[in-house]
Structure 1
Amino acid sequence: MFWIIATVILLVVVLTLILFRVEDLSYLDREKYSVSNASPSAENREVLERIREMGRAGRGLRGKARLMAMRKYMDSLSDGLELASEFRHCDNPRGEWVIAPGADTKRRILYIHGGAWVAGSPRSHRAITDRLSHVANAAVFAVDYRLMPEHRFMDGVRDCRKAYTWLAENGPDGPGDASFILVAGDSAGGSHTLGLLAWIRESGLRQADGAIAFSPSTDLTLTAPSNRNNIATDAMLGPTFGGLSKIPRPIIWWATLAAFRVSPASPVASPLRNNLANLPPILIQASESEMLLDNARRYAAKAKAEGSPVQLHTWAGMVHVWQIFTPMLPEAEQAFADIESFIREIESRKCGPEVGQT
């Protein structure tokens, strides 16, 4: 019996080493970044209360009931906001056009929402897409990609790819080439955003003019230090995912493979582990207190090392994807002002002579 158990354990170890070739990326943690010293605004207390409400919405529920409660709460995040944009439903690809008054519909943004690939929708992120349409003077298409567990992870990836290909040649009023394209997303959607850029490059398609990622996950192997070190300071992700720190990583990798049907070390699931050369300008925003901070830092460091222009800007004490709390939260307004500057920089590069990388 002992030898049978030992053989099984050895087999599992060997299979783990073969299936999950997880390169050690700790060398990327050596790069230093400036840290915002500003204290969170008074409005941040209200944001923290709303995060606690989200947790209470699923209290006592399990399984599908808990997931449905989380989805319902997320969809209510933009309720009550005075949004000036026009919202148009689209069936194929499935999603929603968000058009600010006077926006140039040849300028387009593909927005990929977050929600851990199991929640979120174009409706839940209207505060962000409305604001993006205003600051970019562009029509935003919020793709309603298929979610887990009803669908496979790769179904959602394919939906994003289809939406981008279609967006380049179609606007809210019908066929017509885009004059300017951005891809943007938050959290899980931020990871899809960064993964999409590499796929566009490899497919030989018209590349986006730039990309914006709010607190992107970038790496499902959960090997970045902040994935464990920032559990206590992450009001959004800590209570939900903090328990993973007690589980050995190989077990998490096997569970991820079973749920996603994709290895967590795959570049599709973890864009950090892809070739990051020859990508368009990227702006990443993250919070110093969140679990995904080092995921963003590692991606920025690797992309820069491989020659792609990327900027990482961090805020102190903000919740995960605090940009969704615009206009109530001053730091969210600061983030969109930062995005507006980033877009102007991209446009100046397109119009003028080439300049050095950021």
Structure 2
Amino acid sequence: MLWFLLALLLLVIAATYFLFRVEDLSHLDDPHQPFRGGPPSDEHRYVLGRIRELGQSSRGLRGKARLQALRTHMDALSDGLTLESEFRPVSHPRGEWVIAPGVDTRRRALYIHGGAWAAGSPKSHRAITDRFSRIANAAVFAVDYRLMPEHRYMDGVRDCRKAYRWLLENGPDGESPASYLLIAGDSAGGSHTLGLLGWIKHKGLRQADAAVALCPSTDLTLTAPSNRANIQTDPLLGPAFGGLSKVPLPVIWWATLAAFRVSPLSPVASPLRGDLHNLPPVLIHASDSEMLLDNARRYAAKARAEGSPVTLHTWSGMVHVWHIFVPKLPEAEEAFEDIQAFLQEAKSDQSANEARAAQS
């Protein structure tokens, strides 16, 4: 029996070494990234209170009941907000159009919500999609992709890919080609956003004109320093995922493979591990206090090293995806002003490149 257990252990070790040859990306870490803004505003206390409510909404519950409570609470984040946009449901692909008054519907944006691939919806993120429609002068399609655990991880990925293909030729008023395409997402949706850019390039489709990833997950190997160093300073992800710091990384990798049915080394689940050359302009936001800070840092550093125009802006002391608390939180307003400036600059750069190409 002892020999059998020893042989089994050696087999597991060998399989782990073979399946999970994790490249060391610590050379991409840059602790000197400048931060935006000063100490958090007084309104940040309101945000922290909303996050405590999120935790309390599922206290004492287990399994499906806990997950449903979290989903219900997230959907309520948009309740009571004064939003300018029209929200128009769509069945195929599933999601909703978010159309601010007077926007050019030939300009389109795909928004992919966060929620750890298991929660969130177009409704929960209406504060964000309403603002994106306004600042991008575009009709936003918020895709309602399939969530885990009822569905496989790849089902959600396929929904996002299908939505992008559809947006190329369809707008709020029917079939028509898009004149402009933006992809944006937060957290888990930020991961899907960055992964989608690589898939579009691989498939030879028309690439997005720009992309925005808010506090994205970029690497499911969890090897970045902030995954552990920022547990105590992240009031949202720390309580939910901080316990993983006590689990050996190889165990986490096997568990990820079992739950996602995708290797944590796959660029589909970990965009950082993919080919990042020849990407469109990308803006990434992160907070210095969140667990995913170094996910953002590493992605931006690697993409820039491979020649892609990826910009990272970090805020000090903000909660994970603080953007969802616009307009209550001043720092969220500042973040959207920054996004608008990025989109305008990307448009100007594109126009200049097109003018040079026409002259040559």
Give TM-score, length-normalised by structure 2.
0.97
Aligned partners of 2:30 and 2:297 also within 8 Å: no
Match of 1:61 in 2: 61
Distance 1:96 1:317 in 2: 32
CA apart distance, 1:354: 7.4
Match of 1:124 in 2: 124
Amino acid at match of 1:67: L
Secondary structure of the residue aligned to 2:29 is helix
Match of 2:241 in 1: 241
Distance 1:89 1:168 in 2: 18
CA apart distance, 1:12: 0.3
Paired residues for 1:15-54 under 5 Å: 15-30=15-30, 32-36=32-36, 38-54=38-54
- Is residue 254 from structure 1 mapped to residue 243 from structure 2 by the alignment? no
CA apart distance, 1:20: 1.4
Displacement over 2 Å in runs of 4+: none
Amino acid at match of 1:243: G
Distance 2:204 2:37 in 1: 42
Amino acid at match of 2:56: R
CA apart distance, 1:21: 2.0
Match of 2:206 in 1: 206
- Percent identity reads 71
Distance 1:104 1:270 in 2: 34
Provide Cα deviations, 1:319-348, integer angstroms capped at 9, x if missing partner: 000000000000000000001000100110
CA apart distance, 1:30: 4.1
Give TM-score, length-normalised by structure 1.
0.98
Distance 2:354 2:220 in 1: 35
CA apart distance, 1:353: 3.9
Aligned partners of 2:188 and 2:217 also within 8 Å: yes
Secondary structure of the residue aligned to 2:118 is coil
Provide Cα deviations, 1:251-305, integer angstroms capped at 9, x if missing partner: 1111111110111111111000000000000000000000000000000000000
Match of 1:2 in 2: 2
Provide Cα deviations, 1:61-80, integer angstroms capped at 9, x if missing partner: 00100000000000000100
Distance 1:179 1:90 in 2: 21
Match of 2:164 in 1: 164
Amino acid at match of 1:64: K
Aligned partners of 1:187 and 1:321 also within 8 Å: yes
- Is residue 70 from structure 1 mapped to residue 70 from structure 2 by the alignment? yes
* Structure 1 gap segments, 5+ residues each: none
Distance 2:320 2:158 in 1: 26
CA apart distance, 1:6: 1.4
Match of 2:196 in 1: 196
Match of 1:173 in 2: 173
Match of 1:219 in 2: 219
Secondary structure of the residue aligned to 2:276 is coil
Match of 1:317 in 2: 317
Distance 2:134 2:232 in 1: 35
CA apart distance, 1:31: 6.9
CA apart distance, 1:3: 1.9
Match of 1:347 in 2: 347
Amino acid at match of 2:128: I
Aligned partners of 2:191 and 2:270 also within 8 Å: yes
Provide Cα deviations, 1:79-111, integer angstroms capped at 9, x if missing partner: 000001000000000000000000100110000
Secondary structure of the residue aligned to 1:47 is helix
Amino acid at match of 1:116: A
Amino acid at match of 2:91: D
Provide Cα deviations, 1:22-58, integer angstroms capped at 9, x if missing partner: 1111111147421235000000000000000000000
* Structure 2 gap segments, 5+ residues each: 356-360
Judged with a 3 Å threshold, the aligned counterparts in structure 2 of structure 1 residues 272 and 249 are, in CA distance, closer, same or farther, namely: same
Match of 1:283 in 2: 283
CA apart distance, 1:127: 0.2
Aligned partners of 2:233 and 2:290 also within 8 Å: yes
Aligned partners of 2:217 and 2:292 also within 8 Å: yes
Distance 1:73 1:53 in 2: 8
Aligned partners of 1:146 and 1:156 also within 8 Å: yes
Distance 1:20 1:192 in 2: 22
Distance 1:143 1:36 in 2: 30
Aligned partners of 2:194 and 2:213 also within 8 Å: yes
Match of 1:142 in 2: 142
Match of 2:80 in 1: 80
Distance 1:31 1:239 in 2: 24
Distance 1:105 1:88 in 2: 13
Match of 2:358 in 1: none
Aligned partners of 1:31 and 1:301 also within 8 Å: no
Distance 1:72 1:30 in 2: 38
Secondary structure of the residue aligned to 1:76 is helix
Distance 2:29 2:6 in 1: 37
Secondary structure of the residue aligned to 2:35 is coil
